[in-house]
C-alpha cells in the first residue's frame, strides 16, 4: 500500500488523475450495490428522474477521483496550501473563539473535506479531528500519517464524551464529520425532508459545554481553494432532546444548501437513509 502511494505521489498530477479516473469509472460499473445506493439517495434527496440521477452519480465518481488525486499529490504540502488557499469567514471563527468554550468545526462528505481541514491547519491552527479507525490496519496507518502531515491531531471516535468535553474546556478546536448514518439508536432528524438517524455527538458536545459549531466547506475555483467558514450555530435553551434535534437540524440545513448547489460533490454512495 505504501509503495503504491509513494509511486503515485511522484507521478505528474495529470497521470494520477487519469489513472484514478479509470479506477472510478470501473468502480461505478462494477460495484452495483453502491451504484444502487447512490441512485436511490439522489432520487430521495433531489427528486430527479433516473437519467438525471445517473448523470449526477457518474460525475460524482469522477469528482472523487479528482479529489483523491489532489490529496495524494498535495495533502500536507505547505507551499501548495500557502500559494493556492485562502479563508472566507475568518471573523466567524474569531467570534466562536471569543466565547472561550472551544470550537466545534463540522462538515459533510462534501467537496474536498480532507483538504479543508489540512488547509486550515496550515494557514491558521491545528484541529483535533474525530475519525473512525479503519478496519484495515495498514491502510489506517497510511491514512493517519497523511492526515497528521498537515499538523492536525487525529482522535478516535471511540473516546468518551468526557474526553471530548475536556478538550473543549481546554479551548481546543475539534472537527467532526456529521452527515453519516447514526445507527438504529441515533437521533432522528430530517435530512432533505426525510427522516434519518444521525449521530448526536456534535450536538451533545455543543449543548453540554455551550460550544459554538462552525459549518465549513472547501470552495474550488480552478486552482484557487477557499475555506468557507459559516456563521456559528449556538446551542439553544430548549429541553435536552429537543435542543439536540434543533442543533442537528441547523447543521443539516447548511449541508443541504451546499449539496443542492453542487450535487456531484457529495458522497451519495453512503447508505444514508437506511430502511
In a shared domain, residues 66 and 91: no
Q: What is the mean pLDDT of the chain?
A: 93
In a shared domain, residues 14 and 93: no
Q: What's residue 202's pLDDT?
A: 96
Q: What's residue 190's pLDDT?
A: 94
Average pLDDT over residues 23-37: 97
Average pLDDT over residues 29-54: 96
Q: Which of 74, 99, 133 is the last residue of a domain?
A: 74
The angle that helices 50-74 and 113-123 make with each other, rounded to 10 degrees, is 40
In a shared domain, residues 232 and 178: yes
Report residue 186 CA to chain centroid gap: 19
Q: Is the pLDDT of residue 1 over 70?
A: no
Residue 150 placed within a domain? yes
In a shared domain, residues 220 and 100: yes
The residue that leads in pLDDT, 215 or 150, is 215
Q: Is the pLDDT of residue 87 over 80?
A: yes
Q: Which of 74, 93, 120 is the last residue of a domain?
A: 74
| Alpha-carbon dihedral 222, 80, 68, 2, rounded to 10 degrees | 160
Query: pLDDT-based confidence at 132, cuts 50/70/90?
Result: confident
The model scores a pTM over 0.85? yes
Q: What's residue 144's pLDDT?
A: 85
Q: Is the pLDDT of residue 98 over 70?
A: yes
In a shared domain, residues 204 and 123: yes
In a shared domain, residues 118 and 216: yes
Query: Which helix (H) or strand (E) covers residue 212, if one does?
Result: none
Q: What's residue 275's pLDDT?
A: 55
In a shared domain, residues 8 and 135: no
Q: Which residue bears the cell 448514518?
A: 181
- Range ranked top by mean pLDDT from 91-105, 125-139, 186-200: 91-105
Q: What's residue 140's pLDDT?
A: 76
Residue 5 placed within a domain? yes
Strand partners, 106: 176, 215
Q: Which of 8-12, 21-25, 132-136, 232-236 has the lowest mean pLDDT?
A: 132-136
In a shared domain, residues 16 and 152: no
Residue 265 region, left (φ>0) first, then alpha (ψ -120 to 50), else beta?
A: alpha
Residue 275 placed within a domain? no
Q: Which of 1-10, 35-44, 263-272 has the lowest mean pLDDT?
A: 1-10
Q: What's residue 30's pLDDT?
A: 97
Q: What's residue 73's pLDDT?
A: 93
Q: What's residue 89's pLDDT?
A: 97
Domain count, the chain: 2
In a shared domain, residues 167 and 56: no
Q: What's residue 35's pLDDT?
A: 97
Q: What's residue 146's pLDDT?
A: 84
Q: Which of 47-61, 173-187, 219-233 has the lowest mean pLDDT?
A: 173-187
In a shared domain, residues 102 and 143: yes
Residue 274 placed within a domain? no
What are the angstrom distances between the C-alpha of 118 and each of 180, 223, 258? 21, 16, 20
In a shared domain, residues 62 and 131: no
Q: What's residue 170's pLDDT?
A: 95
Residues spanned by the domain of 136: 79-261
Q: What's residue 226's pLDDT?
A: 98
Residue 271 placed within a domain? no
What are the angstrom distances between the C-alpha of 13 and each of 3, 32, 74, 149, 217? 17, 29, 10, 19, 23
Q: Is the pLDDT of residue 137 over 60?
A: yes
Q: Which of 28, 58, 74 is the last residue of a domain?
A: 74
Amino acid at each position: 500500500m505504501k509503495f503504491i502511494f509513494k509511486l503515485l505521489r511522484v507521478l505528474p498530477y495529470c497521470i494520477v488523475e487519469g489513472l484514478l479516473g479509470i479506477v472510478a469509472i470501473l468502480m461505478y460499473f462494477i460495484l452495483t450495490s453502491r451504484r444502487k445506493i447512490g441512485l436511490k439517495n439522489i432520487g430521495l434527496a433531489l427528486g430527479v428522474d433516473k437519467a438525471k440521477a445517473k448523470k449526477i452519480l457518474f460525475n460524482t465518481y469522477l469528482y472523487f477521483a479528482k479529489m483523491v488525486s489532489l490529496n495524494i499529490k498535495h495533502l500536507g504540502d505547505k507551499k501548495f496550501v500557502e500559494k493556492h488557499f485562502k479563508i472566507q469567514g475568518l471573523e466567524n471563527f474569531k467570534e466562536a473563539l471569543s466565547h472561550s468554550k472551544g470550537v466545534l468545526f463540522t462538515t459533510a462528505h462534501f467537496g474536498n473535506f480532507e483538504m479543508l481541514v489540512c488547509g486550515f491547519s496550515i494557514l491558521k491552527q491545528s484541529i483535533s479531528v474525530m475519525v473512525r479507525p479503519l478496519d484495515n490496519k495498514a491502510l489506517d496507518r497510511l491514512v493517519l500519517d497523511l492526515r497528521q502531515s498537515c499538523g492536525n491531531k487525529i482522535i478516535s471516535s471511540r473516546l468518551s464524551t468526557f474526553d471530548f468535553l475536556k478538550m473543549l474546556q481546554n479551548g481546543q478546536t475539534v472537527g467532526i464529520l456529521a452527515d453519516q448514518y447514526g445507527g438504529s439508536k441515533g437521533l432522528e432528524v430530517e435530512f432533505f425532508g426525510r427522516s434519518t438517524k444521525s449521530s448526536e455527538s456534535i450536538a451533545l458536545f455543543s449543548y453540554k459545554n455551550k460550544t459554538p459549531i462552525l459549518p465549513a466547506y472547501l470552495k474550488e475555483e480552478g486552482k484557487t481553494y477557499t475555506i468557507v467558514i459559516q456563521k456559528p450555530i449556538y446551542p439553544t435553551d430548549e429541553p435536552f432532546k429537543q435542543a439536540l434535534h434543533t442543533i442537528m437540524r441547523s447543521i443539516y440545513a447548511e449541508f443541504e444548501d451546499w449539496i443542492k448547489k453542487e450535487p456531484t460533490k457529495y458522497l451519495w454512495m453512503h447508505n444514508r437513509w437506511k430502511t
